[in-house]
Copies of this chain bind each other. A is one copy, B any other.
Amino acid sequence: MQKAPYKTKQQNLLFSYLQTMKGKHFTAEDVRLYFESKEIPIGIATIYRQLEKLVSEGKIQKYIIDEHSAACFEYSGENCMEKEIHFHLKCEKCGRLIHLECDELEKAGKHLQSEHGFILNPLRTVIYGICTDCAKKDRNYESR
């Protein structure tokens, strides 16, 4: 009755890729290109299926950064759930993605939970806005 998952070459390859990309963002296509360049082609369907599995197991996170670009994945290491929470800020102007650890935001997250009963998932949430550099360049972004 139970599933008896097999360990395949592709799974190991993907895991080795995760090691090299710890803390960085990558797309399904990035993975495919990486192995293509090493002359180890992996089918894109396999990559999507493996990534989806890893996401559902909580081993990697998936981010929808922009609507018409591919989804981003991130591997934070073995015990990512126990690590410090970091948030993702995405600049709408230059497209930069910023990792931020911030007590104030964590506090806001706790407030959401205690006062509004909503359990924040910082692994998926992307905060949009204008980054420092872009704000300096363009004074139209004084405030919102």
Q: Which residues of chain A have a CB within 8 Å of any CB of chain B?
A: 64, 66-67, 71, 81, 85, 89, 92, 98, 100, 102, 104-105, 107-109, 111-113, 115-132, 135, 141, 143-144
What is the chain B residue whose CB lies nearest that of A134? B119
Whether A125 lies near B124 (C-beta < 8 A) is no
**CB-CB < 8 A to A105: which residues of B?**
108, 111-112
Q: Which of B64, B113, B144 contacts A143 (CB 8 A)?
A: B113
Q: Nearest residue in B to A127 (C-beta to C-beta)?
A: B125
| Distance from A108 Cβ to chain B, minimum over Cβ atoms (Å) | 4
Q: Give Cα A127–Cα B67 distance, bound, in whole angstroms.
A: 16
4 more contacts with CB within 8 A, not counting A104-B108, A116-B132, A117-B132, are: A64-B67, A104-B111, A117-B135, A121-B130
User: Do A119 and B130 touch (CB < 8 A)?
Assistant: yes
Closest Cβ of chain B to A144, distance in Å, is 6
Residues of B within 8 A of A119 (CB): 129-130, 135, 141, 143-144
For the complex, what is the distance from the CA of A131 to the CA of B117, rounded to whole Å?
7
Chain A to chain B: the 3 pairs with minimum beta-carbon distance, closest first: A117-B132, A108-B108, A124-B128
Are B124 and A92 in contact, CB atoms less than 8 angstroms apart? yes
- Determine the distance from Cα of A107 to Cα of B127 in the docked complex, in whole angstroms: 15
